[in-house]
Amino acid sequence: MTSDVLQHKTPVKEIMSNSVLSIDSSVSATDAAKLMEDSGAGAIVVLENGLPVGIVTDRDFAIKITAHSYPIDTPVRRIMSSPLISIDPDSDLWTASDLMSTRNVRKLPVIDDRVVGIITSSDLVKHITDH
């Protein structure tokens, strides 16, 4: 059933969230965490010179800050996941699902010259269960 739902070529842009946060790589982990908390986001795309280069997730804070005992004012470039794994808005959900699975990521920024959205594993599950 899963592959039938995903293989009907629904593009990522139809279920992605258009609300995606981004910050410069020099921003402190503390400020990034506060922004995530205030907005209820689970991830922030990290930019250098306006270009997306990585992502910081709630898991990055839990694992990297704690495991490496980084100070909380560490720049997010030190804790971001990079290189950034992303997808095109016209790619289909099957491609997104496969990419998430093979690269072991749960949040996938959607990029079309710039960051236009984000799709999560939860978005995929919700789409499947709704169909």
pLDDT per residue as tens digits for the range 45-74: 999 999 999 999 988 888 888 888 888 899
Mean pLDDT rounded to a whole number for the chain: 91
Distance between CA 38 and CA 68 in Å, rounded?
A: 25
6 — pLDDT class (breaks 50, 70, 90): low
Q: How do strand 43-48 and strand 51-57 relate by DSSP bridges?
A: antiparallel
Cα end-to-end distance, the chain, whole Å? 10
**Structural domain count, the chain:** 1
Smallest Cα–Cα separation from 29: which of 70, 69, 59?
A: 70
What tokens appear for 69 in the block? Answer: 């005992």
pTM metric for this prediction = 0.87
CATH of the domain at 17: 3.10.580.10
Q: Is the pLDDT of residue 31 over 90?
A: yes
Length of the chain: 131
Domain that holds residue 98: 2-130
